Amino acid sequence: MNFETVIGLEVHCELTTNTKMFSNAPVSFGKAPNTMINQVDMGMTGTMPVLNKAGVEYALRVCHALDMEIDELVCFDRKNYYYADLPKGFQITQDRRPIGRNGKIEINVDGKIEVIEIERLHMEEDTAKQLHFDDYSLLDYNRAGIPLIEIVTKPTIRSGKAAAAYLEKLRQIFLFTEVSDAKMEEGSMRCDVNISLRPYGSDKFGTRTEIKNLNSISNVQKAVEVEGKRQEKILLEGGSVIQNTMRYDEDKKETTIMRAKGDAVDYKYYPEPNILPIRLDPAWVKQIKNNLPEMPDKRVLRYTKELGISLVDANILVQTKQVSDFFEATIQYTKHAKFVCNWLLGEIQAYLNKENLVITETKITPEYLAKMVDFIQDATISNKQAKVVFEILMKEGKDPEIIIEEKKMKQISSPAELLVIINGVLDANEQSIEDYRNGKDRAVGFLVGQIMKASNGQANPGMTSKLLIEQLKERIS
């Protein structure tokens, strides 16, 4: 029997507001445990939550980017459960009326466009972070109360590849709407996977399991594939899949049971009594939509259609908004968009990877990158010389023109100037001319080296080779 995989994803995204969702404690990462908290975060008696307007705005940005229906009334509910990382004994969330419904994302899986339907987007507060040791656990409440949005898909994903493509596209949206840094390794973007199997042709869902605590997009894909095989084996052997919460063991490449899976009814939702419903101003909602930057898909289309950049390169350019914005700024100073793209994805990306930096942490500017590209294109400097200029540019942010002058790099591209140098070298190397006459091609390489030496490395290599061959042919004719 063949089975169809049915997948739904729940993605939590921490919002990079200045303060938490219901208190004025700062939002931070990497600070000393339990230093970024206040009485509201700790659920102390008599404290009252106050809704963070910026958190609502950030949620609306993502709603617009996902083409969602927006609820005009913001309502919150209490999700009741007792757990060590929940200081109040309940979580303020949205159950009955999420701020966004019925969105969609288009993804590309092996060249085929698929539409992933999104059921809802709701706002809530994050929980504390648990730190587990051999025989005890500690709690860091710095994370408690940080604004979250949770995005829940409909069960329309059918493969691990599609799940990964969806998450990558969603991550781009978080970055381009500037609501989060979306770093899965730091927990600011987290994904839970719901997966079940059913016979092909069946419209009835199988029993699902949930895989939690996945810390990378690649692990989501691997976990889906592994859990799918585990469920298939159970079903083919005549067994039944049990509704459990699973974890993915990256080392063993297998999923294991964490605990029995609860249902929503166990949480006993009811309206949050301390936050009254808030009606959104339609003009404010529209203003947020109008202020959104151009999204990745539209940029890719423009890069390929208007700038002649390949689809592969265009998709890499928009993986982060920082690189895409840098590209946008650079091409305002030069007409050589393709070459700017090549430098950004080649030498610059290699440098960033090596130094573990993002482009905004370097000294290079869009104007100076454009200037360097123009100098390469008009043969002021060679590609080899450009690499020297580039290193200084990244570390010091110095004007390429000044670097070229200081390093005496400016290429000699004037045929008249080059011919003077070439003929001087030929006059001093009669044996090399004779070698060339006798078919010894290495003579050309030797002569080019002598010309470069005589010009202090400033002779244009391409033009030098061309003129040298012409002069050699004249001398042996």
Dump pLDDT digits (tens) for 278-288.
999 999 999 99
The pLDDT value recorded for residue 38 is: 94
Q: What is the pLDDT of residue 245?
A: 92
Q: How far is CA 338 from CA 331, 334, 343, 375, 386, in A?
A: 9, 10, 9, 15, 16
For 17, phi and psi rounded to 5 degrees? -70, 165
Tell me the pLDDT tens digit for each residue of 4-30.
Answer: 999 999 999 999 999 999 999 999 888
Q: Which residues span the domain enclosing 258?
A: 3-283
Q: Which of 240, 255, 283 is the last residue of a domain?
A: 283
* Tally of domains in the chain: 3
Among 406, 434, 456, the domain boundary falls at 406
Burial 32-71 (b: 16+ CB within 10 A, else e): eeeebbbebbbeeeebebebbebbbbbbbbbbbbbebebb
Domain check: are 178 and 198 in the same one?
Answer: yes
- 71 in any annotated domain: yes
Report yes or no: 444 and 469 within 8 Å, Cβ to Cβ.
yes
Domain identity same for 324 and 445? no
In a domain, 289, yes or no: no
**Would you say residue 12 lies in a domain?**
yes
Q: What local confidence, expressed as pLDDT, does residue 142 receive?
A: 95
pLDDT value, residue 169: 95
- 435 and 380 part of one domain: no
Q: What is the mean pLDDT of residues 64-92?
A: 94
Residues 100, 160 share a domain: yes
- 288 falls within a domain: no
Phi and psi at 246, nearest 5°, equal -115, 165
User: Do 166 and 9 meet the contact criterion of CB atoms below 8 Å apart?
Assistant: yes
Of 109-123, 405-419, 442-456, the range with the lowest mean pLDDT is 405-419
Instruction: Looking at the structure, tell me whether residues 362 and 445 fall in a common domain.
Output: no
User: Residue 371 and residue 364: Cα distance in Å, rounded?
Assistant: 11
How far is residue 118's CA from residue 107's CA, in Å, rounded to a whole number?
A: 13
Q: Is residue 124 part of a domain?
A: yes
Residue 396 has pLDDT above 70, yes or no: yes
Between 441 and 102, whose confidence is greater? 102
CA distance 179 to 149: 10
Please write the tens of the pLDDT for every residue from 252-309. Answer: 999 999 877 655 557 889 999 999 999 999 999 999 999 999 999 999 999 999 999 9
What per-residue confidence (pLDDT) applies to 409? 76
Angle between helix 461-476 and helix 415-427 axes, rounded to 10 deg: 50
3 state SS of 290: helix
Asked whether residue 185 falls in the same domain as residue 279, the answer is yes
Residues 237 and 107 in one domain: yes
> Cα 127 to the chain's mean position, in Å?
25
Q: What is the mean pLDDT of residues 306-317?
A: 95
Overall average pLDDT of the 176-188 stretch: 93
Alpha-carbon span 8 to 116, nearest angstrom: 10
Is the domain of 187 the same as that of 308?
no
CA pseudo-torsion sign 433, 439, 444, 447: negative
DSSP output for 16-41: --SB-SSS-PBP-SSPPTT-S--TTT
pLDDT at 430 over 90: no
The answer to whether residues 31 and 142 touch, using CB atoms and an 8 Å cutoff, is yes
Looking at the fold, whether 163 and 130 belong to one and the same domain comes out as yes
User: Do 188 and 258 sit in the same domain of this protein?
Assistant: yes
Final residue in a domain of this structure, among 227, 248, 283: 283
Q: Please answer whether residues 52 and 78 qualify as being in contact, where contact means their C-beta atoms are separated by less than 8 angstroms.
A: no
CA–CA distance, 161 with 94 (Å, rounded to integer): 30
Identify whether the C-beta of residue 303 lies closer than 8 Å to the C-beta of residue 345: no
Strand runs (DSSP E) across 178-223, as ranges? 189-199, 209-214
**Which CATH number belongs to the domain containing residue 455 in this structure?**
1.10.10.410
* Domain presence at residue 58: yes
Query: Does 433 share its domain with 369?
Result: no
**210 and 325 housed in the same domain:** no
